[in-house]
A and B are shown apart, each in its own frame.
Chain A
Amino acid sequence: MFSSSMIMAILPELLLLTLGLLVLIFDIIWKKKESGRNLGWLTAGGLLLILVVSAFLAKPAESALVFGGMLRYDMMGYVFKMLFIFGAMLTTLFMMDSEKLGNRGESYILLLVATIGMNLMASAADLIMLYLAIETTSIPMYILAGFLRDDKKSTEAGLKYLLFGAMASTVMLYGFSLIFGFTGTTALVAITGFSVPLALGVIVLIMVGIAFKISLAPFHFWAPDVYEGAPTPITGFLSTASKAAGFAVLMRLFIGLFPATGEFADDWTMIMAVLATVTMTVGNVVALSQTNIKRMLAYSSIAHAGYALVGVVSVAKLDAGELGVGSVTFYLIAYVMTNLAAFGIIAAFSKIAGSDEISAYAGMSRRNSGLALAMLVAFLSLTGMPPFGGFVAKVFVFAAAVKAGMIWLALVGILNSIVGVYYYLTVLKVVYLHRMEGENEEAHPIPLTRPYAIALTVLSFAILLIGVIFGPWFDIASSAAQGLF
């Protein structure tokens, strides 16, 4: 039963694995001291190669179940995989100059393994496979979050993430076992025939797990601490690619289990809508009062999960489904670019300035106008201003909600994005308007190392590109929907 499509279906993962092995080998070969950056370049270059190769070779012609129904080889998996690999590549660049992270081969390997896990999450078509993929992703991330052993906050972050993550996984696993117990199968396509208590139980239990992964309120409380404590590039990866993977699972799972034609579509739609409302509101409102930029972005990323969820809500409506999936995917693409850029800038800045307090950003535009401009791009995109990706993404998500007839949800989203305007602009105000103490910014430049410069340039242009020429991107995003239904 072996066919070439089976290889193609896991081509990116195979390549990632190969790259991981290479890094492992070179980590031993190269001398310790200067090896860090070289390994980084190797990883980043390898990821770029993988991205290009898989983009051309691994694109599925039509959806198919492979490996005995464990994986689904379809457009949705493909799109998300490319996104993860891209995210990993940029994260690598950010990691290279990060202290105690960039010069350790292990960190790159862990990142690659996590990426493999995400790839599998995006294409898993069986509950068992799904669970394995989630764990493959999570365990390296637990380690990466607590990677800075000498740093109390980082250690705390790692441990916290591990404990809550493990608990959430357990609950989700319990949900999976319920499904298996009642229906006798773990293959997503084959699961049918829910009774009311079962359906509710499954929805609640699985949602707990996923909500944890994508940090939906009220399962978000771990996120700010972990985000703050973890090394900044890892936080970036955690808040973007990892979150996107969670959304991929969410969509695949729920469309598979409770299709719009089924009887429970309305129930889970309602649950999602409420979750979206709570998440957006909590994220934005709490973000208002933050003084640490990492914590602020942590809450903002919670809010962004809420916006994306607005798009998910419409997935369960008959005629809005495709727009829903397309808009969520588009949102995630834009969000990954934007948030990666934001955390990259923070990493670059705090490396020199040594602080993550918002007040430390005073006078930044005079210390490095290019970095300030990148920050402007990223933050305005987060705010949802054109011509940046965030604007178009938000419009599509809200459009999906309007199309699904949930205008109230769109309005909630809009009110929330207004709150967002306030705190994002406040940061930009500090960057552009306030002065350093002594007003001698010229004496405190912020030099950018090459990896940062490359990564930030790429991301800024990507954000702009998504925001201006959104047609092709939306094509890609909505092709993810094609394989799904």
Chain B
Amino acid sequence: MTFPILSVIIFSPIVAALIILVMPAERKTEIRMTALVTAAFALILSLWVYLNYDQAAAGYQFIEKYAWMPQLGISLHLGVDGISTPLVLLTGVVMFTGVIISWGIDDRPREFFAFLFLLASGVFGVFVALDLFMLFFFYEIAVFPMYLLIAIWGWVKTREYAAMKLTLYLFIGSVIALVGALAMYFESGMGTFNMLALETANFSPEFQKIWFLPVFLGFAVLGGIWPFHNWSPDGHVAAPTAVSMFHAGVLMKLGAFAALRVGIMLLPVGAQYWSWLILAFATVNVVYGAFIAMTQTDLKYMIGFSSVSHMGLVVLGFATLTPEGMTGAGVQMFSHGVMTALFFAATGMVYDRAHTRQIPELGGMIKPLPFVGITFIIGGLVSMGMPGFSGFVAEFPIFMGVWMVKPWVAILAVISIVITAAYIMLAIRRTFFGEMPKEFEGHITPISVMDKVALTLLSGLMIGLGVFPQIMVPMVATGVENVLRLLGGA
């Protein structure tokens, strides 16, 4: 029997969370070190999975299957394909950097890291689950710690409201999708939640048309799809830095990923039937998100809405149902995850020192915080889709895919790039350049070496992927091939 690496990845954060919970609350340093070691461990394992994924063989790999509840055909069935492998790596990266960024949390760090790790476990679980039931199981695990993380450690002004809003939105979405999943389970008559088996269930077209929208949109709520995106910016803003990183970096991908895995892959006919609607929603996402982002003065709100816009591109890519579009969307998930994690990390560092995120009140931050400034700029360039960075590598094929389906949508959606360029550049300039307001002088302390490690890791990934797309794109493409096979070999 081979080493059950995927289950170790999923369960090591939970184990760590339990260990942390039994540690005495006063020993904050030990708690943090435990957290860091666990995160590093998860990162190394996920990197190992990434490097050892056999692209030539494609398909699902590192498969583990344990009967969990044979009566209903539920099993702990894990495996990764070309789409989920990068996402596992992404989670590892965000988790690791998130722990580093949260080093300074002083209010009940024990509970904080425990909840954060529970969240991480859930996220890992969704990405590797090949069992529909388990996917939901982990999905919910990933959602609810958010409530506490935001409500307890979040931004005092809006945290209660935002946390509740977020939880309710996501919960509604997921349970509606759950009904769809149950309907699939019984309709198939196979008595199994195994998604690989359900892929072959050949649901009737009528059934697929009815259930595709609830399932896809139910999950896509977490992906921030318009008109259900409203929870997302509020949540980003209210959340503490590491949670924002997780939230925008990984959680939103969870929604898009599950929408793909369950919605498109299990109900391909439904996907084809409704793709125009999803395309329309996603286009609104992309353009509207960018416009709203431009009007924001709070740095975090700006990033929050830009996430809505960027996640719109992911959904847009999926909705094209073309190899290019979907591959691009897969890469965009990774790229955007790293990018927003970086954005939120950098914003958090500025906020911790300046105690404001209002862009007009900031300025000249590059002097005391050169490293933060430069990495933020790199993030900005990724966000604009600047060639040479991962954003371009991801967005370009998405637009190609859109061209193939609806050329006018491509033209419309491209507007968002100009708008993005404008607001990102303005934000960079106002925050990091210009005169530094008097009251900040002497208050802006330099960031720590660990912070630099986190920022370097994130920006390095974006440049690496931008310069050498081959390190990830072909892998995603193999995953997409499988999706396309289900869609009827398009």
**In the complex, A touching B (Cβ < 8 A):** yes
B179 touches A414 (CB 8 A): yes
Q: Is A410 located at the chain interface by the 8 A CB criterion?
A: yes
B147 touches A395 (CB 8 A): no
Option from A365, A380, A410, A432 in Cβ contact (under 8 Å) with B179:
A410
Q: Is B21 located at the chain interface by the 8 A CB criterion?
A: yes
B71 touches A386 (CB 8 A): no
A428 with B148, Cβ < 8 A, contacts A410-B182, A414-B178 known = yes
- Return chain B residues, CB-CB under 8 Å to A433: 151-152, 159-160
A418 with B21, Cβ < 8 A, contacts A387-B137, A387-B141, A402-B186 known = no
Look across to chain B and name the residue whose beta carbon is closest to the beta carbon of A402.
B182
- Return chain A residues, CB-CB under 8 Å to B21: 373
Contact with A along B53-72 (1 / 0, CB 8 A): 00000000000000111111
Look across to chain A and name the residue whose beta carbon is closest to the beta carbon of B74.
A471
Contact with B along A344-388 (1 / 0, CB 8 A): 000000000000000000000110010001001000100101110
CB distance from A329 to the nearest CB of B (A): 13
Bound together, the chains give a CA A474 to CA B168 distance in angstroms of: 29
Option from B110, B148, B167 in Cβ contact (under 8 Å) with A421:
B167
CB distance from B184 to the nearest CB of A (A): 10
B74 touches A399 (CB 8 A): no
- Return chain B residues, CB-CB under 8 Å to A391: 137, 140
Bound together, the chains give a CA A469 to CA B74 distance in angstroms of: 11
At the interface with chain A, which of B169-177, B407-415, B458-466? Answer: B169-177
- Return chain A residues, CB-CB under 8 Å to B71: 471, 474-475, 478
A418 touches B179 (CB 8 A): no
Which size bracket describes the interface of B in this complex?
35 or more
CB distance from B67 to the nearest CB of A (A): 7
Bound together, the chains give a CA A348 to CA B168 distance in angstroms of: 30
- Return chain B residues, CB-CB under 8 Å to A369: 25, 108, 110-111
CB distance from A99 to the nearest CB of B (A): 31
Most chain-A CB neighbours within 10 Å: which of B108, B182, B183?
B182
A422 touches B182 (CB 8 A): no
Contacting B at CB under 8 A, from A403-428, are 403, 407, 410-411, 414, 417-418, 421-422, 425-426, 428
CB distance from B95 to the nearest CB of A (A): 19
A471 touches B70 (CB 8 A): yes
CB distance from B140 to the nearest CB of A (A): 5
B140 touches A417 (CB 8 A): no
- Return chain A residues, CB-CB under 8 Å to B25: 369
B160 touches A429 (CB 8 A): yes
Look across to chain B and name the residue whose beta carbon is closest to the beta carbon of A414.
B175
A399 touches B168 (CB 8 A): no
Bound together, the chains give a CA A433 to CA B107 distance in angstroms of: 11
B136 touches A432 (CB 8 A): no
- Return chain A residues, CB-CB under 8 Å to B140: 385-386, 391
Contact with A along B123-139 (1 / 0, CB 8 A): 00000000001001110
Contact with A along B171-207 (1 / 0, CB 8 A): 1100110110011011000000000000000000000
A414 with B176, Cβ < 8 A, contacts A428-B148, A432-B152 known = yes
- Return chain A residues, CB-CB under 8 Å to B117: none
Option from A395, A402, A410, A429 in Cβ contact (under 8 Å) with B151:
A429
Q: Is B343 located at the chain interface by the 8 A CB criterion?
A: no
Q: Is A131 located at the chain interface by the 8 A CB criterion?
A: no
Q: Is A470 located at the chain interface by the 8 A CB criterion?
A: yes
Q: Is A398 located at the chain interface by the 8 A CB criterion?
A: yes
CB distance from A319 to the nearest CB of B (A): 10
A386 touches B141 (CB 8 A): yes
Option from A395, A418, A426, A470 in Cβ contact (under 8 Å) with B172:
A418
Option from B68, B69, B144, B186 in Cβ contact (under 8 Å) with A380:
B144
CB distance from B337 to the nearest CB of A (A): 23
- Return chain A residues, CB-CB under 8 Å to B182: 395, 398-399, 402-403, 410
Bound together, the chains give a CA A386 to CA B133 distance in angstroms of: 11
Most chain-B CB neighbours within 10 Å: which of A402, A418, A474, A478?
A402
Look across to chain A and name the residue whose beta carbon is closest to the beta carbon of B183.
A402
B178 touches A422 (CB 8 A): no
Bound together, the chains give a CA A369 to CA B152 distance in angstroms of: 14
CB distance from A469 to the nearest CB of B (A): 8
- Return chain B residues, CB-CB under 8 Å to A414: 175-176, 178-179
Q: Is B44 located at the chain interface by the 8 A CB criterion?
A: no
Most chain-A CB neighbours within 10 Å: which of B67, B138, B164?
B164
B179 touches A411 (CB 8 A): yes
Bound together, the chains give a CA A236 to CA B147 distance in angstroms of: 27
A425 touches B167 (CB 8 A): yes
CB distance from B158 to the nearest CB of A (A): 13
- Return chain B residues, CB-CB under 8 Å to A411: 179
Option from B164, B172, B175, B186 in Cβ contact (under 8 Å) with A403:
B186
Q: List 29 A-B contacts (CB under 8 A).
A: A365-B111, A369-B25, A369-B108, A369-B111, A385-B144, A395-B178, A399-B72, A399-B182, A402-B179, A402-B182, A402-B186, A403-B182, A407-B183, A410-B179, A417-B171, A418-B168, A421-B167, A425-B164, A425-B167, A429-B151, A432-B148, A432-B151, A433-B160, A469-B68, A471-B67, A471-B71, A474-B69, A474-B71, A474-B72
Extra inter-chain contacts (17) besides given A428-B148, A432-B152, A470-B68, CB under 8 Å: A369-B110, A385-B141, A386-B138, A391-B137, A395-B182, A399-B72, A407-B179, A410-B182, A414-B179, A418-B171, A426-B164, A433-B152, A471-B67, A471-B69, A471-B74, A474-B71, A474-B72
B interface residues (Cβ-Cβ under 8 A, vs A): 21, 25, 67-72, 74, 108, 110-111, 133, 136-138, 140-141, 143-144, 147-148, 151-152, 159-160, 163-164, 167-168, 171-172, 175-176, 178-179, 182-183, 185-186
A interface residues (Cβ-Cβ under 8 A, vs B): 365-366, 369, 373, 376, 380, 383, 385-387, 391-392, 395, 398-399, 402-403, 407, 410-411, 414, 417-418, 421-422, 425-426, 428-429, 432-433, 469-471, 474-475, 478
A-B residue pairs, 3 tightest by C-beta: A471-B69, A402-B182, A414-B175
